[in-house]
Structure 1
Amino acid sequence: MLDILIIGGGPIGIACGLAAQKAGLSFVIVEKGCLVNSLYNYPSTMTFFSTSEKLEIGGVPFVTNSYKPVRAEALEYYRRVATSNHLPVNLFEEVTGVKKEDGSFIITTAKASYRAKNVIISTGFYDIPVKLNIPGEDLPKVKHYYQDPNYYALQKVVVVGSSNSAIDVALETYRKGAEVTLVIRGADVGERVKYWIRPDIMNRIKEGSIKAYFKSNLKAIRQYEVDIETPEGLVTIPNDFVMAMTGYQPNFEFLKKIGIKLSEDRFVPEYNHTTMETNVAGLYLAGVVVGGMDTHLWFIENSRIHADMIIGDIVGKVEKL
């Protein structure tokens, strides 16, 4: 029987593995995709908001070429951390069930079954996009994920949202020759947009290079056009692609299925803020998943401490026996 089964092979899952290894506990990390799967699916051009030292885990230095690391550097860093420490990581193995039985957990996956005394869930929030729930959203031209701006060169692109991801998409596709229209629900660009990006998007909007509809919503999508509800009325414009950068959410159904209680408003899981243990004894949460729908509250830099909090609690319980 394992001391710990860690679900999720992202930076925080790896951090939990490093802390467990240091404490001499037996563990396995199970990841449904590739190593640091969410980071792998980030835009190829992404630059992190955080500086490299704030993304470090397990005390391993993160050396980068510039002040803020890019996606490729982060992928290489976390891969080297996992492999150099010989962490037991099982990739492309999705967890299908977690059941508590006789004081321990039975974890079933697409490939195997495990028994562990404790389970850590560090699954992030990038797997399920927040839908627009409007006609035409299921068309192939509608994208909830974004990889590279070159694909949209010379196309008419509508970007929905005002967060960092939406603004990055708008600026990058514009600079590759796309005709970009922003649809923003609020009265202004999002307050949390990176400080070095905000002046750029505001100037592009002001000069008319990027068209922006504020206090507006996308109402319908068709093959070659879209409808936008604006304060002045319904506007129909030609369109080739819709980039719905409306955010993502944790897999709440999975959390509920394994017995974790969620708040009714923002689906925040019930957990001890000192130990990260949920209402299910021996079942812990780490990383952004603890924030429910408020996915902007937790990042690598402020949730990496969850690893030591959790392992400290598990070791403390063992010492009391």
Structure 2
Amino acid sequence: MTYDVLIIGGGPIGIACALEAKKKNLSYIIIEKGALVNSLYHYPETMTFFSTSEKLELDHIPFISKNPKPTKQEALEYYRRVATSNQINIRLFEEVESVKHHDQFIEVNTNKTSYATHNIVVATGFYDIPNKLGVKGEDLDKVKHYYKDPHYYAMQNVVVVGASNSAVDAALETYRKGAHVSMIIRGSEIGQRVKYWVRPDIINRIEEGSIKAYFNSEITEITQSEVVFRNNKGKETSITNDFVLALTGYKPNFKFLEKLGVKVEAENNYIPIYDPQTMKTNVDNIYLAGVICGGMETHKWFIENSRVHAAMIMEHIKN
């Protein structure tokens, strides 16, 4: 079978693309290298969304939450039910390895089999590749680029790197589970994009001394027992440490885009080249959807404002 469209990525936007393909009577398949909505599955267990539930809905299918802001578990339940009730055609735990263009179709090879399709939609998000610190000792087991559960860090000396939503959540949650928390922050303040109901909390904890924050500072080395960092005046400090949560953000898989032939603007935060009216890239019959469209500007696209990509893409393919 040759599909009308093959969607790479089984997150919320990939599912949205599948729903739109069904509405347009286009044959489709989703290839996802992990679990259903894999990125959401790997979010911290206690995570609460910034958006309200209606802004996370797909295809006007109601997302009912008992909280003003839905939790990770509620989102997993919602997207799972959307996928199962609509009998979404998806292959999980299958990874795309290569893509080859032929005259009449595109051949997509995975680690399990191969597919033929007329079009490809890349909806792979950005959560798979962490932004590394690039310092000695970063490869130690004590350094974590993903954060799951605060209980693990109880009674430990924890350094949290960064001042974004994920870093602030980790600092507050581990502190409240009994960790001794220090934050090493490159800038001069807690990030302005931190959730508005959380930002005052972390500022108050820092001001009262419950959480120690080192602003205008960067880590220079990590050892088994310490973290060494330097401030913007050149002063170097070391503190005792058991774990480092390097929550400095994530980036899309640019190497995969390059393998597909999709151009990115290196001088402009690696934003991929695409038509904003159709989401078509510089490569014939390859489209982008979701967060990956923002390149390194990972705060630009979210579920709530990139759901529209699905309809734009499927309309263009149908026509």
- C-alpha displacement of 1:103: 4.2
- C-alpha displacement of 1:231: 3.9
**Secondary structure at 1:227's aligned position in 2?**
strand
2:245 matched residue in structure 1: 243
Identity of matched residues, %: 61
Give the distance between the partners of 1:103 and 1:136, measured in 2 at CA. 50
**Secondary structure at 1:295's aligned position in 2?**
coil
1:319 matched residue in structure 2: none
Superposition TM-score, scaled by structure 2 size: 0.98
**Secondary structure at 1:201's aligned position in 2?**
helix
Q: 1:310 aligns with which of 310, 313, 316?
A: 313
Q: Deviations over 1:227-255 (max 9, x none)?
A: 01124511111000000001000100010
Q: Does 1:181 align with 2:182?
A: yes
2:290 matched residue in structure 1: 287
1:227 matched residue in structure 2: 228
2:133 matched residue in structure 1: 132
Unmatched tracts of structure 1, length 5 or more: 317-321
Give the distance between the partners of 1:10 and 1:196, measured in 2 at CA. 27
Q: Which amino acid aligns with 2:244?
A: V
2:300 matched residue in structure 1: 297
The correspondence of residues 133-282 of structure 1 with structure 2, limited to 5 A, is 133-231=134-232, 233-265=235-267, 266-282=269-285
Q: Which moved more, 1:100-109 or 1:115-124?
A: 100-109
**Secondary structure at 1:271's aligned position in 2?**
coil
Give the distance between the partners of 1:59 and 1:102, measured in 2 at CA. 38
Give the distance between the partners of 1:65 and 1:125, measured in 2 at CA. 28
**Secondary structure at 1:132's aligned position in 2?**
coil
Give the distance between the partners of 2:48 and 2:166, measured in 1 at CA. 11
Unmatched tracts of structure 2, length 5 or more: none
**Secondary structure at 1:78's aligned position in 2?**
helix
Give the distance between the partners of 1:29 and 1:18, measured in 2 at CA. 11
1:69 matched residue in structure 2: 70
**Secondary structure at 1:138's aligned position in 2?**
coil
Superposition TM-score, scaled by structure 1 size: 0.97
1:111 matched residue in structure 2: 112
- C-alpha displacement of 1:36: 0.3
RMSD: 0.7
**Secondary structure at 1:24's aligned position in 2?**
coil
Give the distance between the partners of 1:151 and 1:285, measured in 2 at CA. 38
The correspondence of residues 13-52 of structure 1 with structure 2, limited to 5 A, is 13-52=14-53
Q: Deviations over 1:82-115 (max 9, x none)?
A: 0000011100000001122114211000001001
**Secondary structure at 1:298's aligned position in 2?**
coil
Give the distance between the partners of 2:232 and 2:210, measured in 1 at CA. 21
- C-alpha displacement of 1:67: 1.1
**Secondary structure at 2:5's aligned position in 1?**
strand
**Secondary structure at 2:118's aligned position in 1?**
strand
**Secondary structure at 2:26's aligned position in 1?**
coil
Give the distance between the partners of 2:104 and 2:89, measured in 1 at CA. 24
Q: Does 1:84 align with 2:85?
A: yes
- C-alpha displacement of 1:202: 0.5
Give the distance between the partners of 2:98 and 2:166, measured in 1 at CA. 32
Give the distance between the partners of 2:292 and 2:165, measured in 1 at CA. 19
Give the distance between the partners of 1:218 and 1:159, measured in 2 at CA. 11
- C-alpha displacement of 1:267: 1.1
Give the distance between the partners of 2:113 and 2:59, measured in 1 at CA. 28
The correspondence of residues 91-110 of structure 1 with structure 2, limited to 5 A, is 91-110=92-111
Q: Deviations over 1:172-211 (max 9, x none)?
A: 0000010000000011111100000010000000000000
Q: Which amino acid aligns with 2:8?
A: I
Give the distance between the partners of 1:142 and 1:190, measured in 2 at CA. 22
- Runs (4 or more) in structure 1 with deviation over 6 Å come to none
